[in-house]
Structure 1
Amino acid sequence: MALPWIAAGLAGLLALHFLQKTCFPYFWADLIYLLKVVRYGLRIEIYKRTGSVVTVVDNFMEQARRVPNKPFLIYQEQVYTYRDVDRRSNQVAQVFMKYSPLEKEDTVAMLMSNEPDFLNVWFGLAKLGCRLAFLNYNIRSRSLLHCFHSSGAKMLIVGADMVETLEEILPNLQEDNISVWVMAKEVSIKGVNTILDKLEHVTDKPVPQHLCHVSSIRAATLYIFTSGTTGLPKAALISQLQTLKGAAGIWAFGGTEDDIVYITLPLYHSAASLIGIGGSIYLGATCVLKKKFSASQFWIDCKKHNVTVVQYIGELCRYLCNQPLKEGEKDHKVRMAVGNGVRSDVWKEFIRRFGDIKMCELYGATEGNICFMNHTGKIGSVGRSNIFYKLLFPFELIKYDIQKDEPIINEQGWCERVKKGETGLLISQVNKNNPFFGYAGNKNHTTKKLLCNVFRKGDVYFNTGDLMVQDSENFLYFRDRIGDTFRWKGENVATTEVADIIGMLNFIQEANIYGVAIPEHEGKVGMASIIVKANETLDVKTIYEQIVTYLPGYARPRFLRLQENMEMTGTFKQQKFRLVEQGFNPSAVPDPLYFLDDSEKSYVPLTKDIYDKILSGQIKL
């Protein structure tokens, strides 16, 4: 008698399974991911309610107690255990307790490249309750000085390999009585303190625990610099909440304590520091740290160290795919790649070349309050949303006028949502659960990133500055950036900063900076449209010297366009849209064009031959 009921039950289960696969193919993937989000969110909620936050550095100290002898960091063949880094960072903390007047919540700026002492200084000062400002070591002179001051730092700590950069700004720092320390035993620069010699004379015992106690999840812990949309780099305030969210990224994608994470991105970036280092600590995993990314060395390192998880940006994947074919390219243990900005064609080629690696694409601005994670592996997508995710992290895609560079407002005075399949500006609602912490220094920078009265009076949204599209299956795809920023080599380039640097030259009347697309390249490469003052002549060699001196490599315009008049918009802004569309083809652009040639240490006329070699890849950008 029971057999018909069993048969009917099995048939029903099969029918439900078929229905789920057909109508809800991502149900289980969505459910598992959502449960992880909720589980981690409950932990954050406990921190809020109890007023006692377990920070990333607290997690590190706990791992040092739990697995003291486990390798935490591998750098240039040297292995550092959790205990090694814990004790070394204790010594750093002891040095500054003994030799400096630092107090809890003081800000200290770090100008250091990827090296173990970056982490020792970071963790050591965090144990004293200090905030850290991670300075981009690519920027120089005026921009670097601006970044330091905007963070409100009282002290600067410099890596031994950054002394030359330090010397450019040291007189200004000394005028302001800023305490400067170098990770060296001795330096020949007057008025600069050294650290390594003092480490030998302090204990490696922990400093008092109360110094690093954090009572609010919203408390500031780091400043990480971002170009934002305009002007010089801005110090994005990173709260304990944001560091904890970043640290859960690799775990949310399926990372475990047995993983070995390969980090080649700069530690001053949130990707490497918050997701890479923070993620390794959360898991209790091992990380392999490289000073700089090397395409030729990448897979060699992965095989040597049995790497299982790698971090990437889109450009990194493209560089690897452009390497010459070699035997055994799939002979490695990498199972997962976590990052952002990879194009669909590069994504497919990367998997074809290097094996069945789970590509964990994510989206999130350093200072933003919204994050997407592509937990299903859909090629080209930055993530997927659903009704439950939107309840936790409310966001919208709104209509945007690219030429006017502003949201489209309807007759009632409100913004309008785009339909699925249409490109819109991504905005994320600001509320108590998804706060926007803004930038240090000028409050105008923070308010400019907010849109108020968007759909109703009183609502507030964070403006990501990114154009995205959501398809019928709720997958999200990045399309472009808006405003006065474009992305090149994994970095945001603020056009106004570049224009200011070129505009300092006495023969330049005006400079209009924008990014132009190049086939087979991620992001956009910089181009400067310039007008020379009356009775002055164009000096391309001087422009070259100016941009090399004051701009990092990724921000230097590779192309110049000499114009007689600058087109303006109806609101008297420089017209970029048409210039971007016209590009850099000397056969199509009526104005004289120039190309940055490092071998000549100047800009040279952009000929059809140079143009063709750029498109074919013979000239590398």
Structure 2
Amino acid sequence: MYALLATLIASVAIVPLLLHWLSPYFIQDFRYFIIVVRKSFEVKSYARSVPYYSVLDRFLDMVNKHPDKPYIIFEHKTYTYRDVDKQSNKVARVLMEHVGVKRDDVVALFLSNEPAFIWFWLGSVKLGCAAAFLNYNIRAKSLLHCFACCGAKVLIVGSEFKSTVEEVLSELREQNVTVYFIDDGSIMPGCINLSGKINQASDEPIPQSQRKDITSKSTAVYIYTSGTTGLPKAAIINHARLWLGACVLGSIGVNSKDVVYVNLPMYHSAGFMLGFNGATAEGATVILRRKFSASQFWDDCRKYNVTVIQYIGEVLRYLCNVPKKDNDRDHMVRLAIGNGARPEVWKEFLNRFGKIVVREFYGATEGNIGFVNYTNKIGAVGRQFFLHKLAASYAIIKYDSEKEEPIRNSQGLCIPAARGEPGLLVCKISSMSPFSGYVKNEKQTEKKKLKNVFRKGDLYFNSGDLLKVDKDNFIYFNDRLGETFRWKGENVATTEVSDILSMVDCFEEANAYGVSVPGNEGRIGMAAIKLREGKEFESNKVCKHVMSHLPGYARPRFLRIQNSLEITGTFKQMKGKLVKEGFNPATIQDPLYFLDESTKNYVPITQEIYNSILSKEMKL
């Protein structure tokens, strides 16, 4: 008996060692899978509750739990959970009583990272409405497009965006849109200032009956994402998806004691869904900054005892590029979550700023699949764990980059990519992994659906991204497909840039694309141009047009003048060769120009300019 018992105990004790030997990450894989399952069941239970338990309800619970706890700290001013609740009540009453907003209406917000963004978001949700988050960098045609596709008749504008709205005010009026400003100063004729009305409004709670019919499938937010059409698309974020985004921070160990630093744009899913709503779900404190500042970043972290930071790849590099200081490791930051960190920057960041746990993730605003690197494997975006893969039904399939389509077998079905081979990430569309699509854009919604992947009649979400899995099951992001590239944390649609350039009188045709610059994440904008017959390149005019119609991150910094632009047999512009050739004047015979923002002109690229860009003497 004793011998048998001892044998059993020894066998049980050796199981973990055996598992570690066979699969070193099994315990971490299984632990994270359990966390994901638990979070998923929580979200499902909220969906079944009557009335529906939304992220707003979690916020209200936190107000009751710790009303005097700092919730938002912005520019030296602190707002408690109670403060934000009351202020959002005021906003909701003004929207309802003075603006005329009704249940299921859409309120478009053209605001920067500021407390008003949060007040208007919460106020809208308290009325059972959806909010559309407009990127404050867009203008003219793009701004009108984004506003029109969300179906809003109300535009809430921050004081710093007067001139941008003034450019399109006549078009907005033609669409019967009313523009409301949050400004204590003077505003444009025909617009309404809400500041005084908000100050005078009652802060009494908004009855739950205002949103009694809200469900998990009701639209909560429209968040815009770039696409191959050239104009942003409004991704439909319902309340269930909002919850899933809010659960990410909790799944990696963030809790109510944490102080979360949000300096990424709130109009993006990372800043709003993961950062702000993730902190709200855990009852944490948010340090809100209007814009990212590398020079002030660590000073803010030290001043406010920040414990959790967000990043995109460029953020880590910018922080590493700031001159070293003796107090670089003097901070309380324990966790960083984001995406796009290059391995060498990742290593440099840790070596310089200390033992910060980095949680690189992969995901898309409208996507139905995501990964988190819950290990400390530098460079990876996650791990392939068989239980997660079984539950999420995702796959990485072979893809033909030249034909721009998946490779299929003789039966017309897709083929899984081999280990280490970059392939297209797809995920089965189901009740467990839904895809809501884009509002008023059925064509682009359908383009994101891939049929007959592994069985006739099945339907998968096409991520548009190439990923790969190594022999140890680590997942790595490889590249983006199509005509969208990423620069300074923003997706740039090449067709939109081409369309803007084609408006210039001296241009007959334009082909925009992104090129790599050593030492920089993403790709920077470049365009091949064909001049109209008899026309000359008007550098000043082109520069003025570009700076007037495109945000900074989307402006092509390099132009290449060609006699003709190559196209494929299906009349698609060819970009691959141009991307590879880059912008080196020593190897390219075509005239090359560089956007010099200091002189506001396109200037010829000399070898000296080219070398200064590579050496980082010239900032991009």
Q: Do both proteins adopt the same fold according to a TM-score greater than 0.5, normalized to the shorter chain? A: yes
Higher mean displacement: 130-139 or 187-196: 187-196
SS of 2:547's equivalent in the other structure is: helix
**In 2, distance between residues paired with 1:377 and 1:105?**
44
**In 1, distance between residues paired with 2:48 and 2:286?**
33
Which residue does the alignment assign to 2:270? 271
Which residue does the alignment assign to 2:123? 124
Which residue does the alignment assign to 1:27? 26
2:39/2:251 contact within 8 Å kept: no
Which residue does the alignment assign to 1:557? 556
2:32/2:374 contact within 8 Å kept: yes
Which residue does the alignment assign to 1:459? 458
SS of 1:321's equivalent in the other structure is: helix
SS of 1:248's equivalent in the other structure is: helix
Higher mean displacement: 567-576 or 343-352: 567-576
Which residue does the alignment assign to 1:368? 367
**Matched residue type, 1:407:** P
SS of 2:184's equivalent in the other structure is: coil
**In 1, distance between residues paired with 2:13 and 2:593?**
66
Deviation at 1:328, TM superposition (A): 1.6
2:181/2:187 contact within 8 Å kept: no
Higher mean displacement: 418-427 or 398-407: 398-407
1:51/1:215 contact within 8 Å kept: no
Which residue does the alignment assign to 2:389? 390
**In 1, distance between residues paired with 2:347 and 2:4?**
47
Matches within 5 A, 1:158-237: 158-237=157-236
Deviations 1:254-286 (A, max 9, x none): 111100000110110110111111011111000
Deviation at 1:479, TM superposition (A): 0.7
Matches within 5 A, 1:339-358: 339-358=338-357
Q: Percent of counterpart pairs with the same letter?
A: 49
Which residue does the alignment assign to 1:583? 582
**In 2, distance between residues paired with 1:266 and 1:593?**
34
The alpha-carbon distance between structure 1 residues 229 and 476, as it changes in their structure 2 partners (threshold 3 A), is: farther
Deviation at 1:15, TM superposition (A): 3.1
Deviation at 1:201, TM superposition (A): 2.3
**In 2, distance between residues paired with 1:79 and 1:615?**
43
Deviation at 1:214, TM superposition (A): 4.8
Give the CA RMSD over aligned residues.
Answer: 1.4
Which residue does the alignment assign to 2:323? 324
1:380/1:477 contact within 8 Å kept: yes
1:230/1:485 contact within 8 Å kept: no
Deviation at 1:6, TM superposition (A): 6.9
**In 2, distance between residues paired with 1:218 and 1:75?**
32
The alpha-carbon distance between structure 1 residues 133 and 33, as it changes in their structure 2 partners (threshold 3 A), is: same
**In 2, distance between residues paired with 1:476 and 1:557?**
32
**In 2, distance between residues paired with 1:587 and 1:186?**
54
**In 2, distance between residues paired with 1:200 and 1:289?**
22
**In 1, distance between residues paired with 2:187 and 2:249?**
43
Deviation at 1:497, TM superposition (A): 0.3
Which residue does the alignment assign to 1:47? 46
Deviations 1:310-338 (A, max 9, x none): 01000000100111111021111000001
When the two structures are aligned, how many residues end up with a matched partner? 620
Deviation at 1:188, TM superposition (A): 3.4
**Matched residue type, 2:558:** F
SS of 1:297's equivalent in the other structure is: helix
1:312/1:340 contact within 8 Å kept: yes
Higher mean displacement: 21-30 or 151-160: 21-30
1:404/1:569 contact within 8 Å kept: no
1:229/1:465 contact within 8 Å kept: no
Deviation at 1:38, TM superposition (A): 1.2
Which residue does the alignment assign to 1:156? 155
**In 2, distance between residues paired with 1:560 and 1:442?**
32
Matches within 5 A, 1:467-478: 467-478=466-477
Which residue does the alignment assign to 2:441? 442
Deviation at 1:215, TM superposition (A): 4.1
**In 1, distance between residues paired with 2:563 and 2:117?**
49
Which residue does the alignment assign to 1:571? 570
**Matched residue type, 1:191:** G
Deviation at 1:455, TM superposition (A): 2.1
Deviation at 1:211, TM superposition (A): 1.3
Deviations 1:539-561 (A, max 9, x none): 12211111100000000011111
1:186/1:197 contact within 8 Å kept: no
Deviation at 1:221, TM superposition (A): 0.8
Deviations 1:31-71 (A, max 9, x none): 22111111111122223334542111111111111110000
Higher mean displacement: 388-397 or 112-121: 388-397
**In 2, distance between residues paired with 1:52 and 1:422?**
47
Deviation at 1:213, TM superposition (A): 3.1
**In 2, distance between residues paired with 1:431 and 1:202?**
44
**Matched residue type, 2:586:** S
SS of 1:502's equivalent in the other structure is: helix
**In 2, distance between residues paired with 1:615 and 1:188?**
45
